[in-house]
Amino acid sequence: MNAPTANLNEPLFASAHAAITFALNYSMQQYDRPLMNRLAYGPAGGSGKGLSGLDGAAQAGMIRREISELSPLDQAFVIASVAPHQLPRQSPAGKDDAWRINPEWHAAIHAISQDVVSSALAGCISHRVLRLGIVSRCFGHKVVLADLAERCNVAQNTATNHHQRVRRYLHGARGARIDEMSMGAVERAMRRIERRLEAAQMVFTD
């Protein structure tokens, strides 16, 4: 007896974040990584309801299509927020204990770094490497501001000030009212993709 296939007309994900995580991690779920690598990487974070093969590819493709309907900058915000920073690199011997930067996440960070020149850092003289480091840090990459400032030959106060401005732009001011105008650019982008996925009946709604 053949296993039942997923009904692609029914919502399969509890949230937009779970759906996006599934889609952006789908390709790396197609082989079984060693246990230590899975623990180091962390859970995929998406509830794929056991989707695999053609069903999984179809669902991931539909979610990615909805993401592609966002503006290029909103796409970058979503990818930088949810996509894995690194991907395992499989060696010829079958060992995947090395890692490589995820080019999709890296491209999103570069796009956002360009955007903050005219948004968060408008009127400032900003160093390209400093911006990249700060934006990466705002999306969870391990970056020490003091080390970054020294590498870019800028004052630590400058690096701290730029980081605060970029973080406020991306994630909103701490303690601010949560409405469309006061939230950060990332949250606004996530709200937009959430509405698209709900309208497409890919995620459950309350």
Residue 26: predicted pLDDT: 85
Measure the CA–CA gap between 131 and 117, rounded to whole angstroms. 8
Residue 1: predicted pLDDT: 41
Residue 47: predicted pLDDT: 43
Measure the CA–CA gap between 75 and 94, rounded to whole angstroms. 33
Residue 178: predicted pLDDT: 59
Residue 81: predicted pLDDT: 97
Residue 199: predicted pLDDT: 93
**Does residue 200 surpass a pLDDT of 80?**
yes
pLDDT by residue (tens digit) across 105-150?
999 999 999 999 999 999 999 899 999 999 999 999 999 999 999 9
**Does residue 94 surpass a pLDDT of 70?**
no
Residue 196: predicted pLDDT: 96
Q: What is the DSSP string of 37-81?
A: HHHHH-------TT--HHHHHHHHHHHHHHHHTS-HHHHHHHHHH
pLDDT by residue (tens digit) across 50-61?
555 557 788 899
Strongest mean pLDDT among 22-26, 92-96, 109-113 = 109-113
**Nearest 5 degrees, angle CA 144-CA 42-CA 32?**
135
Residue 92: predicted pLDDT: 59
pTM, two decimal places: 0.80
Percent of the chain residues topping a pLDDT of 70: 73
**Does residue 41 surpass a pLDDT of 60?**
no
